Amino acid sequence: MPENREPIRFVILDPGHFHAALAMKRRRADVDPRVQVFAPAGDDLDRFRSQVEAFNSRAVDATDWKLEIESGADWLERFRTERLGNTAVIAGRNKPKIDLILAALESGLNVLADKPWVINSTDLPKLERAHTLAESNALVAWDLMTERHETTNRLLLALACEPAIFGEWKSFSLESVHCLKKTVAGTPLRRPAWWFDMRVAGDSLADVGTHLVDLAFLAIAPERTVRPDELRIVTSKRWPLLVERDDFETITGLPEFPPEMDLDGVRLRYAGNGTVDYTLCGVPVRVTTRWEVEHPGGDWHAIVAHGSRCAVHSEQSPDGRRTIAIRPVSPGLLASVGDWCARHQSEFPGLSAANDGDAIRLVVPDALHRDHESLFAHVVDDYARLFRDPSTMPEHEWPNRRARYAITTAQPDRCSRAGSPVP
């Protein structure tokens, strides 16, 4: 197939999540600055427009986006008949997201969509439909898996593929804590009220859990399709975060809880916490996602990959910087890790190893660290390569995507200690 040389032209659909704007924080030279936006009028659209305007007016590295907004009640129908672009960017309310993805694919557009694509197992057939549409029409449907590009995650994935250092897989645990109060692009984030409605946003495993489950697939089964018999869900549980009214007002700007919310007396029961245990290719995996109102240092992560020769620990420190260390099962790995760092200088220039008591610390130069907002540009770069040549889409991407969502949407009553196969 010849390379597609036309400009990438974004069409933004219902940008209810700030990730829609972060996908535009930087403009590639091959992306047209003219952007159509189809969305209902309201706060979500206003926030998106303000964020893009801030990118256009910043003092350093300003963008030059030109938004053409269609916000009437018939915005979705007008998208189907008036859209001019070739790439639908979708990041908003989680429940209707898969329907927007299908609408874009049915209209002949490629898709760059934020996670999660589905929040209920009943919508997994729609994911299959999206796969069929994309494959049969040579369209790209790519998800915003930003954590694939975070530096310590990349290091962990590479180390897990090094038998002389890591050995054989024993277990994998991944925990993530996100904060409801945070700053995005230098401004305190205002979250929409629907964010707290599980029927629209889903729970934490269905949302944030997609990143962690994705990392587990990349680490344990890199570059291959996981067969259904290689994945069994053992247990899954959820529990709420209780949010005070004053905090809710600070986060959303609303003085009262909407009556349709799940309330516990005077507090809101936010579906913010969950754990799922499963086995992947025989390796026990535990994924835990939690939300807090706020946390010193902001969002934080703790990932531990246990191998027969060492355990690799990736953590986020209170200052927001992530660290990675290797804890050997027995002494003598320091020289091997040093040699490994030397062999990977082209990918991680300046990387080195240092003895740190009972651990080996990887010394990551400041230039290699990537903050959360910068990761979106790397995902857009990935998408651009696939846009130029859709045949380069990895064969394992779609089947593993479906398997990942089967995990994140697994309900507690469908799991048992005996394990449930992927539906």
Give the separation between CA 145 and CA 378, rounded to whole angstroms: 10
Whether residue 174 is predicted with pLDDT greater than 80 in this model: the reply is yes
Q: In angstroms, how far is CA 379 from the centroid of its own chain?
A: 10
- Phi, psi values for residue 102, rounded to 5°: -65, -40
86-90, 210-214, 215-219, 315-319: which range is least confident on average?
Answer: 315-319
Size (the chain), residues:
423
What is the per-residue pLDDT for 316?
85
Q: Map residue 377 onto helix, strand or coil.
A: helix
DSSP per-residue codes, 1-12: -----SPB-EEE
103-112, 141-150, 184-193, 245-254: which range is least confident on average?
Answer: 184-193
Q: What is the pLDDT of residues 228-280, one digit of tens each?
A: 999 999 999 999 999 999 999 999 999 999 988 889 889 999 999 999 999 99
Give the separation between CA 133 and CA 125, rounded to whole angstroms: 12
What is the per-residue pLDDT for 145?
96
Whether residue 407 is predicted with pLDDT greater than 90 in this model: the reply is yes
Mean pLDDT score across all residues of the chain: 93
- Radius of gyration for the alpha carbons in the chain, expressed in angstroms and rounded: 22
Give the separation between CA 294 and CA 191, rounded to whole angstroms: 14
What is the per-residue pLDDT for 189?
86
Q: What is the pLDDT of residues 298-357, one digit of tens each?
A: 788 899 999 999 999 999 876 678 999 999 998 889 999 999 999 999 999 999 999 999
C-alpha distances (whole Å) from 361 to each of 24, 150, 313, 351 are: 35, 17, 10, 11
Residue type (1 letter), 383: Y
Whether residue 3 is predicted with pLDDT greater than 80 in this model: the reply is no
Residue 70: closest CA among 47, 38, 46, 45: 38
What is the per-residue pLDDT for 412?
65
Q: Which domains does the chain show, CATH number per domain?
A: 10-143 (3.40.50.720), 150-374 (3.30.360)
Over range 11-22, report the average pLDDT: 96
Give the separation between CA 263 and CA 273, rounded to whole angstroms: 16
Name the token pair of 128. 């299959």
Write the burial class of residue 60 (CB in 10 Å: 0-12 exposed, 13-18 middle, 19+ buried). Answer: exposed
Q: Map residue 46 onto helix, strand or coil.
A: helix
Q: At what angle do helices 151-160 and 209-220 cross, to 10 degrees?
A: 30
Per-residue b or e along 98-118, where b marks 16 or more CB atoms closer than 10 Å to that residue's CB = bebbbbbbeeebbbbbbbbbb
Name the token pair of 217. 């697939």
Yes or no: say if 157 and 305 are a contact pair by the CB < 8 Å rule.
Answer: no
Yes or no: say if 234 and 201 are a contact pair by the CB < 8 Å rule.
Answer: no
Give the separation between CA 304 and CA 27, rounded to whole angstroms: 35
Write the burial class of residue 44 (CB in 10 Å: 0-12 exposed, 13-18 middle, 19+ buried). Answer: buried
pTM of the predicted model as reported, rounded to 2 decimal places:
0.93
Q: What percent of the chain has pLDDT over 90?
A: 85
Yes or no: say if 402 and 213 are a contact pair by the CB < 8 Å rule.
Answer: no
In the numeric block, the tokens 């645990």 are attached to 173
What is the per-residue pLDDT for 415?
47
Which residue has better confidence, 330 or 160?
160
Yes or no: say if 165 and 325 are a contact pair by the CB < 8 Å rule.
Answer: no
Give the separation between CA 391 and CA 182, rounded to whole angstroms: 39
Give the separation between CA 374 and CA 387, rounded to whole angstroms: 21
Question: What is the pLDDT confidence band of residue 186, given thresholds at 50, 70 and 90?
Answer: confident
Yes or no: say if 99 and 130 are a contact pair by the CB < 8 Å rule.
Answer: no
Question: What is the pLDDT confidence band of residue 417, given thresholds at 50, 70 and 90?
Answer: very low
Over range 58-67, report the average pLDDT: 97
Question: What is the pLDDT confidence band of residue 128, given thresholds at 50, 70 and 90?
Answer: very high
Q: What is the pLDDT of residues 19-29, one digit of tens each?
A: 999 999 999 99
Question: What is the pLDDT confidence band of residue 416, given thresholds at 50, 70 and 90?
Answer: very low
